[in-house]
Amino acid sequence: MPGYVHNLVDLFTLAPDHLLMSLAFLAAIMAGNDLVRTALMVELTRNPLVHMVLNVLTLLPAFLIAAILFASAWLHPTQRWINLLYALLLYVAWYIGGAITKLARRDTEGADPGFMSVGALVTFPVGLLAALIF
Q: What is the pLDDT of residues 119-129, one digit of tens each?
A: 899 999 999 99
pLDDT at 67 (0 to 100) = 97
Q: How many residues does the chain have?
A: 134
Cα–Cα dist 89/61, whole Å: 13
Within 13 Å and on the Cβ side, how many CA atoms surround 21? 11
Q: What is the DSSP string of 21-49?
A: HHHHHHHHHHHHHHHHHHHHHHH-TT-HH
pLDDT at 39 (0 to 100) = 83
Three-state SS for 15?
coil
pLDDT at 109 (0 to 100) = 60
Cα–Cα dist 94/9, whole Å: 22
Number of domains in the chain: 1
Report, as an integer, the average pLDDT of 43-59: 83
Q: What is the pLDDT of residues 61-70, one digit of tens each?
A: 999 999 999 9
Domain of 12? Answer: 3-133
Q: What is the DSSP string of 95-120?
A: HHHHHHGGGT-TTS----HHHHHHHH
Give the pLDDT band (50/70/90) at residue 107. Answer: low
